[in-house]
Structure 1
């Protein structure tokens, strides 16, 4: 990189973890930050200069310190990038490729650089690609429609005909299909958002997949495909590299969008959500809408019942796993735990694999927020944090449970209970429709704050329907203004992490439901038992005790008929869903 930077007369070069679609999860061909620095997290900005640094957020501090080679860690709360470069560089020219930065970020950073006397230099292609000699090729796999998949069939195959209506407490009956609207109905709703003289450009892969009811497998853990979508009042153009045919949708080659198509657009341009700066810079008078992301976040009856089935199956698999760990921990390591969970899920019809790499952190590794399961052996008197998710054809899951092998310390039980109290407060209350994600985030932290404790990640995020496990809106993080609306599905996942000792996180998905008079309540849809002996009952109020008992009753009611009575798994379920009394 030094030779390239000299050749182009720049003092620094900025590389971001991401692809042209600003995806959170990326393919191997886009892992430029990993190639430069060794860092494998999903959020990193590498600044290559005389004293190279990598910026990331609190989820990855410990991980970055372990992985970085030749780059120094800069925390997101440390010196801002423009200030760091202003104090470091002699050559004030700073390069980047705008294809991998959002138009919003590009505009902001350009203004900040200018105030510091730094010149932002744009490159059409990323300079890293010139030195990455063994860079993998981008993979384009098959694209398929999910419109004709039968939700009834998946219920029947997994639970049996006799149970079709026993475990559907959310809606009145099981919809026939896995999606509530066909793609033509969705396109009609989207076209109502633009004018006759406007062209809508969508580059976010999950939104394109949602809108057209298509799925793919181009990026690990995400059933999406590389594409661009262009919509006018009369036309719809899809740019892909795989064969697909949709009525009233014109199919183009993926590369043609950036190579030629965007240069012949004459209408006013509207962007949905984020789009990269290479594209947005071509349309300086564009407008941006978030309405489609909001439509995507509102789940219909088919999606809700699909999530419900997904969590019955995940609940069975995770209960089996937790008992298996309890009985066999002496012969297990973290990777074996993750593999065993995938084995338990693989028997289910419609299971397409994990929705992210399973986090199985034992001992001090449980304090690493986004940890990749390794070879650490499980031992007695050790915490185990398991954060896992599934992609079923009918729904996506994301669940975290913190376990403890042996006898936990009083301090561990105290911290576990503080985290639990925060989850219950945000999960079991009544809130006005449109309550902000920031308010819900704060509610999860109140008990931790009283003990001068906190955690660095968001309290929750939306989840896609057989899509990306992280979907927005809504997002629950400090100062988030995202309005939570009825029929959204999102996580509530407070935590606490004691570096070098242990980490605690508890995560459930909930469905927001309108209860009238402008208010909502959140229905738990995560049928996974808590390890009840980690709770310090004296720290719970009577209301909180009722709440955890109510959750346990529902978990047992849903799961018990699918677990053989008298088995060790059944005993584990009964033990960890029993009524708690002070």
Structure 2
């Protein structure tokens, strides 16, 4: 930093594709600070370094960073511009890597630093990379075709459809930087990013429907190249900068997802820019009938694995198991059901570890289970036809008395979302409070969104749809979301109950379009920690109907022992 004349440098979690999950070669924040959460960043000056984390990670970060050198900073309560104002009261230069930040991020930070004397400086070389001597090599996993029968639409038709959108909006081309958008568009999948079957790449989509794909050519064999056809040209990533400079505008580029470097390359060439959302992001979120059917099939198999786990767990002495034992057992059961990979690192948090929202068990943190505690298991699988994400909270024997009221409130919130009916045009922010109302009534809450979008055999966290106080995007038929309210008591326990739900059309009066949710997840919800007297008749009937469906659909696929347990676990409560 001194050699570059910098007074500060910003180290984001993101890679050049702004993904939540990054390859080992791009895990700069984790390498520098030790923090492995899925969101956050650090700002380093000569004499201090702040690690910015949101409410999900305020427990986790303290166990991962060296507090003698790094200071946790609550974010978004503390904006990076405000922190820099305090850290550099006399002004100075704050460097950033323009490939690792979006234009929206940089503009917001620049606005916050106006009239402070602090200058944001884009760097050609990342100083973290300069000192990262054992940096892993970039991923080189082979790309594969995603079956058109599962995709529900050919890549050629998708390209044609998006090209028509460009022409309608007077755009000559679009720059795509999100690997899941590109993988969806071309009906390809890959192994570049752990747990997410995407091909790390950039792309330029022409208004003619031609795609230039910037990815390691070695990832594509002759069969896949032939399937992609002549309207897809594959070039190495190092050719991207020149290709952007050569484009005729207007070029569509997304300020919220595309790297700042992409904007700068276009601007340096004098190319007209058309700021607009990634053209694939909404079409990808609206699952077609084939994708929805694939997700249902994947959830059926996943429900078998989860039910077998819960039956096995119920028969064990908790003291004979550790958190990692549970993880290994569940992943083995999912392999029996044909997973390609897990969809994220399995969370298995016993007792106080369950209060760490995105807890990742390691050999050093591994905790032995104990009777009387709560065990939170949040997990999912990547199947060839779908992606799953489910959370269940299980009492190990008699549930702790202090967990019963919040468990019941969390369950009631999850049921409220499941039963919701709402007019077309309603956004995730409008729905979010339905899940929190019963916790709020007790003076409780949770520091994460109620639901995130989920891809169809793609990323388990998918934009742009979500159920969150900050989401103003209207929900649309075909979108798939998680429904996962929770409650976390530090040093005691965590509670979260999660199903995946699909937005569907609902019955309505004439001339009014209404939407609702179809529950995709099939797995019993533990009834032992429920205060049944707090459930309404409607809520109890919903739970019984859900359990009857779970029993009906899973029973034929289970062995006798798991089937017997399932029947006991789904005994009606009303």
TM-score for both structures, normalised by structure 2: 0.93
Contact 1:99–1:278 at 8 Å: present in 2 too? yes
Equivalent residue in structure 2 for 1:40, among 36, 39, 44: 36
**Mapping 1:555-570, distance limit 5 Å:** 555-565=550-560, 567=561, 569-570=562-563
Q: Which runs of 5+ in 2 are unaligned?
A: 268-272
Contact 1:147–1:182 at 8 Å: present in 2 too? no
Q: Give the secondary-structure state (helix, strand or coil) at the position aligned to 1:121.
A: strand
**Mapping 1:249-288, distance limit 5 Å:** 249-272=231-254, 274-284=257-267, 285-288=273-276
Confirm whether residue 576 of structure 1 aligns to residue 569 of structure 2.
yes
TM-superposed CA distance for 1:104, in Å, is: 0.9
Q: Equivalents in 1 of 2:567, 2:116: separation in Å?
A: 63
Q: Equivalents in 1 of 2:353, 2:6: separation in Å?
A: 40
| Aligned twin of 1:186 | 158
Q: Equivalents in 2 of 1:109, 1:405: separation in Å?
A: 47
Structure 1 window deviating more from structure 2 (496-505 vs 472-481): it is: 472-481
Structure 1 window deviating more from structure 2 (80-89 vs 355-364): it is: 80-89
Confirm whether residue 218 of structure 1 aligns to residue 210 of structure 2.
no
Q: Equivalents in 1 of 2:467, 2:516: separation in Å?
A: 16
Structure 1 window deviating more from structure 2 (291-300 vs 64-73): it is: 291-300
TM-superposed CA distance for 1:233, in Å, is: 2.3
Q: Equivalents in 2 of 1:465, 1:406: separation in Å?
A: 36
Confirm whether residue 85 of structure 1 aligns to residue 84 of structure 2.
yes
Confirm whether residue 24 of structure 1 aligns to residue 20 of structure 2.
yes
| Aligned twin of 1:240 | 215
Q: Equivalents in 2 of 1:400, 1:254: separation in Å?
A: 40
Equivalent residue in structure 1 for 2:354, among 366, 372, 380: 366
TM-superposed CA distance for 1:442, in Å, is: 1.1
TM-superposed CA distance for 1:281, in Å, is: 2.4
Q: Give the secondary-structure state (helix, strand or coil) at the position aligned to 1:221.
A: coil
Q: Give the secondary-structure state (helix, strand or coil) at the position aligned to 2:324.
A: helix
TM-superposed CA distance for 1:282, in Å, is: 2.8
TM-superposed CA distance for 1:183, in Å, is: 0.4
Q: Equivalents in 2 of 1:197, 1:376: separation in Å?
A: 55
| Aligned twin of 2:385 | 394
Confirm whether residue 538 of structure 1 aligns to residue 527 of structure 2.
no
Structure 1 window deviating more from structure 2 (390-399 vs 70-79): it is: 70-79
Q: Equivalents in 1 of 2:476, 2:453: separation in Å?
A: 11
Q: Equivalents in 2 of 1:290, 1:444: separation in Å?
A: 30
How far does the alpha carbon of each residue in 1:431-488 deviate from its partner, in whole angstroms, 9 at most, with x for none?
1122110111111001111111000000001100111000113111113101111111
Q: How many residues align?
A: 546
Q: Equivalents in 2 of 1:278, 1:58: separation in Å?
A: 30
TM-superposed CA distance for 1:291, in Å, is: 4.5
| Aligned twin of 2:144 | 144
TM-superposed CA distance for 1:410, in Å, is: 2.7
| Aligned twin of 2:176 | 202
Q: Equivalents in 1 of 2:146, 2:359: separation in Å?
A: 32
Q: Equivalents in 1 of 2:236, 2:427: separation in Å?
A: 38
Contact 2:91–2:116 at 8 Å: present in 1 too? no
Contact 2:377–2:393 at 8 Å: present in 1 too? yes
Contact 1:58–1:457 at 8 Å: present in 2 too? yes
Equivalent residue in structure 2 for 1:62, among 59, 64, 72: 59
Q: Which runs of 5+ in 1 are unaligned?
A: 149-176
| Aligned twin of 2:270 | none
TM-superposed CA distance for 1:88, in Å, is: 1.8
Contact 1:83–1:116 at 8 Å: present in 2 too? no
TM-superposed CA distance for 1:259, in Å, is: 3.8
How far does the alpha carbon of each residue in 1:289-317 deviate from its partner, in whole angstroms, 9 at most, with x for none?
35521110111111111111111111111
**Mapping 1:345-364, distance limit 5 Å:** 345-349=334-338, 351-364=339-352
Contact 2:171–2:252 at 8 Å: present in 1 too? no
Q: Equivalents in 1 of 2:214, 2:376: separation in Å?
A: 41
How far does the alpha carbon of each residue in 1:228-254 deviate from its partner, in whole angstroms, 9 at most, with x for none?
111112232111112241113343333
Structure 1 window deviating more from structure 2 (388-397 vs 62-71): it is: 62-71
Q: Give the secondary-structure state (helix, strand or coil) at the position aligned to 1:7.
A: coil
Q: Equivalents in 2 of 1:521, 1:80: separation in Å?
A: 36
Q: Equivalents in 1 of 2:202, 2:239: separation in Å?
A: 7
Structure 1 window deviating more from structure 2 (352-361 vs 429-438): it is: 429-438
Q: Equivalents in 1 of 2:534, 2:306: separation in Å?
A: 27
Structure 1 window deviating more from structure 2 (417-426 vs 260-269): it is: 260-269
Q: Give the secondary-structure state (helix, strand or coil) at the position aligned to 1:322.
A: helix
Equivalent residue in structure 1 for 2:437, among 446, 451, 455: 446
Q: Equivalents in 1 of 2:454, 2:276: separation in Å?
A: 22
| Aligned twin of 1:430 | 421
Confirm whether residue 297 of structure 1 aligns to residue 285 of structure 2.
yes
Q: Equivalents in 1 of 2:263, 2:239: separation in Å?
A: 13
Contact 2:478–2:502 at 8 Å: present in 1 too? yes
Confirm whether residue 337 of structure 1 aligns to residue 333 of structure 2.
no
Q: Equivalents in 2 of 1:540, 1:290: separation in Å?
A: 43
Contact 1:364–1:502 at 8 Å: present in 2 too? yes
TM-superposed CA distance for 1:542, in Å, is: 1.0
Query: CA 1:99 to 1:86, structure 2 compared with 1: closer, same or farther past 3 Å?
Result: same
